[in-house]
Structure 1
């Protein structure tokens, strides 16, 4: 997982997390529900990043942790249709998804720690996406 229960608790009060996860009224955080929310967040992040990055991320970039927390918190609220999702939670989820869409199209990056996918051709030839060929039939003509 890209984020942990501890990461979520840095963003929200434990009492709120208990209210969102405790289906059996035990008075404690249900870690299985938290894991479900985090796994859903990871799956969404991976779906946007799989064409560009080696997954799962290792080491996990800070943006992946941030987005996983934001998306997981939104997932937890979505379990409780009678509870209104705070505007800040909605905004963070919207911003995370917007950024992930930009990552998917190549307009944004997950950070320097994230390993890009290298195809066999790129690794053998030394070319990177967008590199121009220096030597072509035209430029070699007459040599």
Structure 2
């Protein structure tokens, strides 16, 4: 899961989400299950793209993924009523996911939160000093 219902509320305001999810629970409160289903569907779409390049589940969820998840879920919630802006943002999100899948765009995990490889048996490269350099130009 890359985003939560509260992430959606922060990005799109609760009243807008309530208009899209007109169903209510037994006690008259808005039904967050509809929003959660849209977020689950958006997360599944994201997984289908990034699983080609990254091992899932991700240990750290980058902010860009949470943003794209909300954009896709918003589009799903709008369904047939999606505005041109919502449709364009959805298409942009899918294009971004394609570029992540193809390795053109990194996910952008912060260096502070990235973890080092667990193995101590990493390859090391050792080389002799340079034989030729710019100072030795024209020598031969």
TM-score higher than 0.5 here? yes
Aligned length: 120
Q: Which runs of structure 1 show a deviation greater than 6 angstroms over 4 or more consecutive aligned residues?
A: none
Where 1:108 maps in the other structure, the secondary structure is coil
Over residues 8-57 of structure 1, what are the superposed CA-to-partner deviations in whole Å (9 max), with x where a residue is unaligned?
Answer: 11221222211211224876331111110000111111100002112122
Distance 1:9 1:91 in 2: 21
2:82 maps to 85
C-alpha distance in structure 2 between counterparts of 1:126 and 1:94, whole Å: 41
Larger-gyration structure (1/2) = 2
Residue 34 of structure 2 corresponds to: 33
TM-score scaled by structure 1?
0.71
Which residue in 1 is equivalent to 2:137? Answer: none
Specify the alignment match of 1:9 in structure 2.
9
Q: 1:20–1:64: structure 2 CA closer, same or farther, 3 Å change rule?
A: same
Unaligned runs of 5+ residues in structure 2 are 128-140
Residue 100 of structure 1: CA displacement? 0.4
Q: d(CA) in 1 for partners of 2:123 and 2:29?
A: 54
Partner Cα distance (1:15, 1:9) in 2: 8
The answer to which of 16-25 and 102-111 deviates more is 16-25
State the match for 2:61 in structure 1. 60
What is the DSSP-based 3-state SS (H/G/I as helix, E as strand, rest coil) of the residue aligned with 2:12?
A: coil
Query: How much is the aligned-residue C-alpha RMSD, in angstroms?
Result: 2.8
Q: CA deviation at 1:96?
A: 0.6
SS of residue in 2 equivalent to 1:11: helix
